[in-house]
């Protein structure tokens, strides 16, 4: 943070420069976040006319509610499945693209464009692909004797949402993994090869350890993605159904707050989510700090 | 690499082709679906394009007022991009090039916004958007300003004012500018610029604004371009926020329009037209990624690390 030269004798200017950012952050970030914490301790009637302080009642209710545990379970299972599938696929593809010499630009382009597809659109594409009436893949599954209908079957709907979310995230992971592979000094690999290490040995002993920071960073980012950015995907194709099988924590915040008008309950869920994200951020930065000190 | 690994290379080639096919197949299938005459979407499973692509694109465009909604998406994405670049360059400049009393507080206040997405604080943010003067009114209650004015006037007084951002462009744009990503990117970039440059500029008599405008900004073209690409796509693909704060179909974004046109029952719904619409909505951000690929990759890798 230090080391750059500074301007002296401008007392007001830095505050003026910070003002736009500060105003937006206060109005649209700190104020709402504070309100969420406050509302979590009140029960407010659906029209927002009156509210009553209830201490931890909202949290108590949530944590005694089987549906909330189902949403926690769904979110965690969803995050793990999306992260593993998406990162696994992207890692293999980036590994191969890094090795290839011909057509690198074209393969890279073909693999990164889905980044631009909105999660909601990814959901629509996958829903059509797996739609029991119209989908090409659904047709294959059905003719293989599978009773395939994600519109009615909760487990199938869950995996459909996982597939769509993981597909959309492959590009993101691919970009980072490829950058990670390209940052590995080729001389290191050549030296190992001269010493008689084969492809597999080089991968296990050199490439994988050097990819650990990227992998760790991506795990956090994928979990955040699966928790928060997939709202549109779920809303567009399953709306949390069938039978709550794709109901995640964020979807419940939305449903309770904007459909059931349970403002206190929704705010309590927001607070729980803030704690989760805060924890993830902390882990992320604690790890990055450590990595910097290694250099 | 060095040794001959033909079998391994062949296996890799096969896996790569399967991977690319799997990644690209959903969009290919969307093309097939969008080219089917409405009512014969079942034939999409044959994977052969139908004759009706352009009719369907046209129908999607007209049916749902998609032109207007695409315009809204464009305003929203561009507004978020410009706004974010503007506030984050100014605050990064203040934090790196000035020493002032609340500098570290400002730094950490921005820092903690880094990973708390709007989805988490969605309810209260909506309330603020519904009446942006809400914080002011509550503050006047808390600070006793109301009581003071009541005393002076000798009668009951309470500030009531309403300014709603629902169904408006500022409402779509402003809350999504509130995050730290850009500020940190610029802060890191400014810190790599040699301090001698700033000293030389000051010796030559340049003030801070002149330095920012004539030296720092031209040097920041690369991070500016990279961040623009990322933020534009982020803005274009927003879902929950526009869903909540727009009720007027003429003010909503194209993405919400398409998602709402999704057939909900098995009744022969015009899937082909929905898929044509999905292609139209996806086209602008995909074009941005393809044309600005170099900036996109840089922006992604640098703005998030």
Contact at 8 Å (CB) between B230 and B299? Answer: yes
Q: Above 50 in pLDDT, residue A295?
A: no
Q: Do B19 and A111 touch (CB under 8 A)?
A: yes
Q: Which residues of A touch B273 (CB under 8 A)?
A: none
Confidence tier at B115 by pLDDT (50, 70, 90): low
Give the span between the Cα atoms of A234 and A231, in whole angstroms: 5
The predicted structure's pLDDT at residue A2: 46
Q: Above 50 in pLDDT, residue B232?
A: yes
Please tell me the distance in Å from B67's CA to the nearest CA on chain A: 18
Angstrom CA distances, B110 to A7, A46, A206, B182, B186, stand at 22, 33, 37, 10, 13
The predicted structure's pLDDT at residue B264: 66
Q: What is the pLDDT of residues B180-223, one digit of tens each?
A: 778 888 888 898 888 888 888 888 888 888 899 988 999 988 88
Which residues numbered 206-225 in B keep a CB inside 8 Å of some CB on A? 207-208, 211
* Phi, psi angle pair for B207, to nearest 5°: -80, 175
Q: Above 80 in pLDDT, residue A294?
A: no
Confidence tier at B303 by pLDDT (50, 70, 90): low
> What is the torsional sign of CA A121, B298, A285, A205?
positive
In the beta sheet, which residues pair with residue A52?
A43
Q: Which residues of B touch A228 (CB under 8 A)?
A: 117, 119-120
Q: Which residues of A touch B92 (CB under 8 A)?
A: none
The predicted structure's pLDDT at residue A131: 87
Which residues numbered 254-293 in A keep a CB inside 8 Å of some CB on B? 254, 257-258, 263, 266-267, 270, 273-274, 277-278, 280-281, 284
Of all residues in chain B, the one with the smallest CA distance to A199 is B5
Quick one: average pLDDT of A240-257? Answer: 86
Which residues numbered 113-142 in B keep a CB inside 8 Å of some CB on A? 113-117, 119-128, 132, 135
Asked if the C-beta of B295 comes within 8 angstroms of chain A's C-beta atoms, the answer is no
The predicted structure's pLDDT at residue B81: 94
Contact at 8 Å (CB) between A160 and A126? Answer: yes
More confident residue, A48 or A135: A135
Of all residues in chain B, the one with the smallest CA distance to A217 is B305
**From the list B3, B16, B243, which residue is nearest A97 (CB)?**
B16
Quick one: average pLDDT of A252-278? Answer: 85
Q: Which residues of A touch B1 (CB under 8 A)?
A: 99, 189-190, 193
Q: Above 60 in pLDDT, residue A67?
A: yes
Q: What is the pLDDT of residues B237-255, one digit of tens each?
A: 999 999 988 888 888 899 9
Q: Do A110 and B23 touch (CB under 8 A)?
A: yes
* In the block, residue with structure tokens 């739609």: A131
The predicted structure's pLDDT at residue A117: 93
Q: Above 90 in pLDDT, residue A66?
A: no
Q: Do B240 and A111 touch (CB under 8 A)?
A: no
DSSP string, B106-167: HHHHHHTTTT--TTTTHHHHHHHHH-TTHHHHHHHHHTTHHHHHHHHHTS----------TT
Q: Above 70 in pLDDT, residue B3?
A: no
Q: Above 70 in pLDDT, residue B269?
A: no
Which residues numbered 48-87 in B keep a CB inside 8 Å of some CB on A? 86-87
The predicted structure's pLDDT at residue A87: 95
CA angle B126, A34, B148 (to 5 degrees): 95
Q: Lowest-confidence range among B60-69, B125-134, B139-148?
A: B139-148
* Phi, psi angle pair for B237, to nearest 5°: -95, 10
Please tell me the distance in Å from A44's CA to the nearest CA on chain B: 13
The predicted structure's pLDDT at residue B73: 94
The predicted structure's pLDDT at residue B160: 65
Q: Do A92 and B236 touch (CB under 8 A)?
A: no
Q: Do B174 and A115 touch (CB under 8 A)?
A: no
Of all residues in chain A, the one with the smallest CA distance to B175 is A28
Give the span between the Cα atoms of A224 and A89, in whole angstroms: 19
Q: Which residues of A touch B290 (CB under 8 A)?
A: 109, 113
Structure tokens belonging to residue A260: 């059931």
Confidence tier at A177 by pLDDT (50, 70, 90): very high
Q: Do A29 and B191 touch (CB under 8 A)?
A: no
Asked if the C-beta of B232 comes within 8 angstroms of chain A's C-beta atoms, the answer is no
The predicted structure's pLDDT at residue A293: 41
Give the span between the Cα atoms of B119 and B116, in whole angstroms: 8
Q: What is the pLDDT of residues A191-204, one digit of tens each?
A: 988 888 888 888 88
Angstrom CA distances, A61 to A29, A34, B170, stand at 27, 21, 37
Asked if the C-beta of B45 comes within 8 angstroms of chain A's C-beta atoms, the answer is yes
DSSP string, B183-245: HHHHHHHHHHS-HHHHHHHHHTT--HHHHIIIIIHHHTHHHHHHHHHHHHHHHHT--HHHHHH
Interface test with B, best of A11, A21, A40 (most B CBs within 10 A): A21
Q: What is the pLDDT of residues B130-176, one digit of tens each?
A: 887 777 777 777 777 767 777 777 666 666 667 788 888 988 999 89
Exposed e or buried b for every residue in B43-80, given b needs 16+ CB within 10 A?
ebbeeeebebbeebbebbbebbbbeebbebbbebbbbb
3-class SS at A53? strand
Q: Above 90 in pLDDT, residue A89?
A: yes
The predicted structure's pLDDT at residue B80: 95
Is it true that domain A72-294 has CATH number 1.10.10.1800?
A: no
In the beta sheet, which residues pair with residue A51?
A44
**From the list A89, A198, A284, which residue is nearest B19 (CB)?**
A89
Q: What is the pLDDT of residues A129-147, one digit of tens each?
A: 998 888 888 888 888 888 8
Q: Do A194 and B174 touch (CB under 8 A)?
A: no
Q: Do A15 and B100 touch (CB under 8 A)?
A: yes
Domain edges within chain B: 6-114+179-304
Q: Above 80 in pLDDT, residue B305?
A: no
Q: Do A270 and B94 touch (CB under 8 A)?
A: no
Average pLDDT, chain A: 85
Q: Which residues of B touch A97 (CB under 8 A)?
A: 16
The CATH code of the domain at B6-114+179-304 is 1.10.3720.10
Question: How many CB contacts within 8 angstroms connect chain A with chain B?
Answer: 307
Quick one: average pLDDT of A51-62? Answer: 80
């Amino acid at each position: 943070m230090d080391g750059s030269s500074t301007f002296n004798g401008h007392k007001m200017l830095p505050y003026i420069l910070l003002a736009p950012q500060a105003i937006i952050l206060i109005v649209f970030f700190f104020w709402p976040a504070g309100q969420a914490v406050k509302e979590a301790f009140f029960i407010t009637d659906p029209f927002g006319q009156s509210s009553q302080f209830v201490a931890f009642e909202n949290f108590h209710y949530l944590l005694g509610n089987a549906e909330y545990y189902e949403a926690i379970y769904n979110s965690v299972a969803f995050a793990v499945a999306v992260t593993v599938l998406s990162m696994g696929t992207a890692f293999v593809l980036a590994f191969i693209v890094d090795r290839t010499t011909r057509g690198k630009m074209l393969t890279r382009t073909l693999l990164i464009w889905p980044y631009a597809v909105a999660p909601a659109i990814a959901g629509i594409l996958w829903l059509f692909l797996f739609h029991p009436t119209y989908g090409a893949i659904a047709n294959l599954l059905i003719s293989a004797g599978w009773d395939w209908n994600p519109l009615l079957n909760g487990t199938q709907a869950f995996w459909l949402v996982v597939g769509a979310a993981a597909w959309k995230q492959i590009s993101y992971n691919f970009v980072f993994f490829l950058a990670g592979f390209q940052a590995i000094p080729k001389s290191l690999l050549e030296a190992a090869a001269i010493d008689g290490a084969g492809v597999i040995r080089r991968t296990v002993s050199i490439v994988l350890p050097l990819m650990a920071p990227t992998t760790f960073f991506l795990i956090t980012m994928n979990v955040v993605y699966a928790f928060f950015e997939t709202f549109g995907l779920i809303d567009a194709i399953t709306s949390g159904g069938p039978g709550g099988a794709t109901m995640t924590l964020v979807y419940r915040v939305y449903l309770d707050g904007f459909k059931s008008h349970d403002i206190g309950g929704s705010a309590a869920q927001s607070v729980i989510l803030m704690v989760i994200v805060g924890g993830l951020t902390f882990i992320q930065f604690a790890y990055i700090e450590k990595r910097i000190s290694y250099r | 690499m060095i040794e001959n690994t033909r079998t391994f290379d062949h296996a890799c080639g096969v896996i790569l082709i399967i991977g690319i096919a799997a990644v690209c197949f959903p969009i290919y299938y969307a093309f097939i679906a969008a080219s089917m005459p409405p009512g014969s979407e079942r034939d999409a499973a044959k994977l052969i394009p139908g004759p009706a692509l352009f009719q369907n694109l046209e129908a999607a465009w007209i049916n749902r007022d998609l032109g207007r909604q695409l315009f809204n998406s464009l305003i929203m994405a561009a507004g978020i991009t410009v706004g974010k670049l503007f506030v984050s360059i100014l605050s990064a400049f203040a934090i790196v090039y000035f020493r002032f009393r609340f500098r570290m507080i400002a730094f950490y206040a921005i820092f903690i916004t880094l990973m708390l997405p709007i989805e988490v604080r969605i309810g209260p943010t909506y309330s603020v958007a519904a009446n942006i003067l809400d914080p002011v009114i509550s503050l006047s209650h808390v600070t006793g300003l109301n009581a003071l004015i009541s005393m002076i006037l000798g009668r009951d007084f309470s500030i009531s004012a309403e300014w709603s951002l629902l169904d408006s462009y500022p409402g779509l744009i402003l809350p999504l500018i509130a995050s730290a990503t850009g500020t940190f990117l610029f802060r890191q970039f400014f810190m790599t610029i040699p301090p001698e440059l700033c000293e030389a500029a000051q010796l030559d008599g340049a003030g801070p604004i002149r330095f920012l405008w004539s030296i720092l900004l031209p040097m920041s073209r690369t991070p500016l371009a990279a961040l623009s690409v990322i933020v534009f796509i982020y803005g274009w693909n927003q879902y929950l926020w526009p869903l909540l704060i727009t009720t007027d179909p003429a003010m909503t974004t194209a993405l919400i329009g398409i998602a709402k046109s999704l057939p909900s029952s098995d009744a022969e719904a015009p899937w082909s037209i929905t898929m044509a619409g999905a292609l139209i909505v996806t086209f602008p951000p995909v074009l941005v990624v393809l044309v600005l690929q170099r900036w996109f990759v840089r922006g992604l890798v640098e703005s998030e690390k």
